[in-house]
């Protein structure tokens, strides 16, 4: 198994699309370069902001191979390979391994309720099937299934399960992930942009940050300042992106992140239907915040 240090700001890179909803690989390549040139520490294909939930298998493979080719080893590339069934998750994970991904990020199964025992067995079987680092992905408000801290601690004993992303929005849950795995070789990442610095200060490793699609340099600076011991600077960068929070509540967060990325001059297109509409109120609020943040020098 390749050794990859799980750390820093990792954008769940948006998947650019044309008007007919086909994948715009040329713009995807430009977004890869934009992210890396602005200092992000890895890239995450078809996460939530990358619309992994609505891409088919062939599209995921196309996105992943494009990103890996354009990245050319400059930063690690993560692939979101979690599906509802263990069988399909293993198939997608093997695809990502063959394509040359560095890390797998595997979301919990969704729709049907799973016990903690079922979740443990699910991840155990996947880990046995692929010789790759795996980062668990907890986002219960989207999947309906929460990975409890005790289950994460048990899974951390499996050699190639090396980290977890917590998008519960509950800092106590994130901190429990950190506290219960602090004696293991295990990295915990914040999945909520507002908790990145708190995660780092509690012993976490960074964050998978949707807002890095909008402001890659700003988000990367949170981690870079923290790593350099500049807590004041890290807090300043962390606070600078919080103005987006109220706007993100006005619609589907993925739609708002992608629209904001486009409004800043990146032709990434809309989210795939039906998740592609914003109210006039949300659009105007978004434009106002982006203009204010431009004056503050965010990018």
pLDDT-derived band at 20 (thresholds 50, 70, 90) equals very high
Q: Parallel, antiparallel, or unpaired: how do β-strands 134-138 and 161-166 relate?
A: parallel
pLDDT-derived band at 68 (thresholds 50, 70, 90) equals very high
Confidence (pLDDT) at 213: 98
- Domains (range + CATH), the chain: 8-230 (3.20.20.70)
In this prediction, residues 108-131 reach a mean pLDDT of 97
**Inter-CA distances, 223 with 54, 132, 172, 189, Å:** 30, 25, 21, 12
Helical spans, DSSP H, in the chain: 25-37, 57-71, 86-99, 116-129, 140-143, 149-155, 171-181, 196-201, 216-227, 231-240, 244-248, 253-263, 280-296
Confidence (pLDDT) at 1: 85
In this prediction, residues 199-207 reach a mean pLDDT of 98
Q: How far apart are CA 71 and CA 105, in angstroms?
A: 18
| pTM, entire model | 0.96
Structure tokens at 198: 């708190």
Q: How far apart are CA 205 and CA 196, in angstroms?
A: 9
Confidence (pLDDT) at 2: 84
Residue 144 CB coordination number (10 Å): 14
pLDDT-derived band at 100 (thresholds 50, 70, 90) equals very high
The residues that are catalytic are 137, 165
Structure tokens at 134: 């795996």
């Amino acid at each position: 198994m390749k050794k990859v240090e799980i750390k820093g700001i990792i954008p769940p890179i948006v998947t650019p699309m044309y008007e007919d909803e086909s994948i715009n690989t040329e713009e995807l390549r430009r977004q890869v370069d934009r992210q890396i040139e602005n200092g992000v520490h890895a890239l995450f294909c078809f996460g939530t902001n990358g619309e992994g939930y609505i891409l088919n298998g062939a599209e995921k493979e196309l996105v992943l191979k494009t990103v890996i080719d354009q990245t050319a080893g400059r930063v690690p590339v993560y692939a979101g390979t979690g599906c509802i069934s263990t069988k399909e998750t293993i198939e997608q994970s093997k695809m990502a391994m063959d394509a040359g991904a560095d890390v797998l990020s595997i979301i919990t199964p969704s729709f049907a309720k799973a016990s903690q025992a079922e979740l443990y067995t699910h991840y155990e079987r996947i880990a046995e099937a692929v010789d790759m680092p795996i980062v668990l992905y907890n986002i219960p408000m989207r999947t309906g299934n929460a990975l409890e801290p005790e289950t994460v601690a048990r899974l951390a004993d499996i050699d190639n399960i090396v980290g977890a992303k917590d998008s519960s929005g509950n800092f106590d849950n994130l901190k429990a992930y950190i506290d219960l795995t602090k004696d293991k070789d295990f990295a915990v990442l914040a999945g909520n942009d507002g908790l990145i610095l708190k995660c780092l200060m509690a012993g976490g490793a960074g964050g998978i940050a949707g807002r890095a699609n909008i402001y890659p340099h700003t988000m990367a600076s949170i981690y870079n300042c923290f790593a350099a011991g500049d807590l004041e600077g890290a807090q300043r960068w962390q606070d600078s992106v919080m103005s987006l929070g109220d706007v993100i509540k006005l619609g589907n967060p993925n739609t708002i992140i992608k629209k904001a990325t486009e409004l800043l001059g990146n032709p990434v297109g809309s989210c795939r239907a039906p998740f592609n509409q914003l109210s006039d109120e949300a659009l105007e609020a978004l434009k106002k915040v982006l203009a204010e943040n431009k004056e503050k020098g965010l990018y």
